[in-house]
Amino acid sequence: MRAKNLPASDFRYNRAVLGNDKKRMEISQGFADTVGNTPLIRMNRLSELTGCEILGKAEFLNPGGSVKDRAALWMVRDAEERGALQPGGIVVEGTAGNTGIGLVHVCNARGYGCIIYMPDNQSPEKVEILETLGAEVRQVATVPYKDPMNYQKQAGRFAETLENAFWANQFDNVANRQAHYDSTGPEIWRQTDGTIDAFTCSVGTGGTLAGVSRFLKEQRQDIQLVLADPMGSALHSWATTGEASMSKGPSITEGIGNSRVTDNLAGTEVDDAVQVTDQEMVTMVYQQMVEEGWFFGSSTGINLCAAVKVAEQMGPGHTIVTVLCDTGSKYQSRLFNPEFLAERDLHV
C-alpha cells in the first residue's frame, strides 16, 4: 500500500523494501546468514604509531561473539551435506570455549543437541554461556594432547558411543579452515581492495590462519603471512625452524597456542612468526580499552601486538590485517581481574 504523502520515487523505494526483494532489503536470513561479513576496522592508535594501516577484522561482531562462529557453521553444514549429521542429532566437541559457543548457537538454530568437553583451566564465563545456551558441558582435567584423557580425545571417544552423533573435531576437520578460505579471506581481499601487504594472527586450531592464508596467497604470492604465537606454544618454532618445540610458558591467553601442527594448519605457507609475551598482550588490551574504547580478549591482544611487530619490520606505508577474535567480556574474572594479574606478576 502506498504510504500517504510520499512522492512517487519514495513509493518505488518503499515497494522494494517492503516487497520480497531480499537482496535490496539487505536483511539477514536467520542465524547462519548473519555469520561473517564483519567490518574491517582501522586501529587508529596503532596505525599512527607505526605509519602503517593496521586493520582489524571485527570477528567479535559475529552473532555468537567470536571468530569461531564461522568454523562452527561450516563444520555443521559440511557434516549435514556428508550425511554425518542427521536431523535431531547431537554435536559433540572438545573446545576451549568459543567453538562450543558457536556450535551451540548453530545447533539450537538447526535442532541439534550439543555436548562440550572443555579443559578445566578456562574462564568460568565461557562455561556459563555454554550452559545458558543449553549445551551439556563436561569439564575435564587439563592434560597434554598426548594423554588419552585430553579433552579433545574424550570428546571423540564419547561421540562414538552415541547414535546419530557427530564429533566436530575442529583441530583436524578441514571444514574449519574452509570457512576462512570461503569467507574471511575473500572479505579481507575485497575490503582492502587488494592492497593488503601482510596478514597476521594467532593459532588455536589454525583454521583462521590456514584458510585466510591460502586464499590470500592465491591472489598475490607476495602477501606476507605471519603466525602470531603466545609463550608456551610450539608454533613459533614450527613456523621458523620446521620443528614444533615448545617455548617457555605458561600464558594466560585462551584458545590459542598449540603443541602440535593440526591437519588444518599443515601445509600452510607461513612466511614468518612472531612471539608475544603476556605482558605485551596485557598492555595492549588495556591501552585499547582506556585510550580507544575497545574491549578485547587476550588473543586479540596477541594479534594486535603481532601486527605492530610486523609493521615495525616492514616499515611505514604498509597495510597489515589482523583478527579481532572476541571481546573481553568472557575474561573478566582473569584478564580483567587485578588480583589474577598481580599473582602472575602482570601489570596494567
Which of 89/331 has CB closer to ligand PMP? 331
Q: What long-range pairs does 56-59 form, CB within 8 A, spacing at least 24?
A: 56/300, 56/303, 56/304, 56/307, 56/321, 56/322, 56/323, 56/324, 57/184, 57/187, 57/188, 57/321, 57/322, 57/323, 57/324, 58/324, 59/184, 59/323, 59/324, 59/325, 59/326
**Three-state secondary-structure class, residue 119:** strand
Q: Which of 57, 68, 126, 330 is catalytic?
A: 68
Residue 205 or residue 319: which is nearer to ligand PMP going by CB?
205
Interatomic CA distance for residues 212 and 180, integer angstroms: 5
Give residues in contact with ligand PMP (CB under 6 A): 66-68, 96, 98, 202-208, 255-256, 297, 299, 325-326
* Nearer to ligand PMP among residue 263 and residue 314 (C-beta): 263
Smallest distance from the beta carbon of 112 to ligand PMP, in angstroms? 21
In the complex, the smallest distance separating the C-beta of residue 211 from ligand PMP, rounded to whole angstroms, is 8
| Alpha carbons 105 and 133: distance in angstroms, whole number | 7
Asked about 57 being catalytic, the answer comes back as no
Q: What is the rounded (10 degree) CA torsion for 104, 299, 45, 63?
A: 0
Q: In the complex with ligand PMP, which residue's Cβ is closer, 202 or 319?
A: 202
- Which residues are catalytic, by number? 68
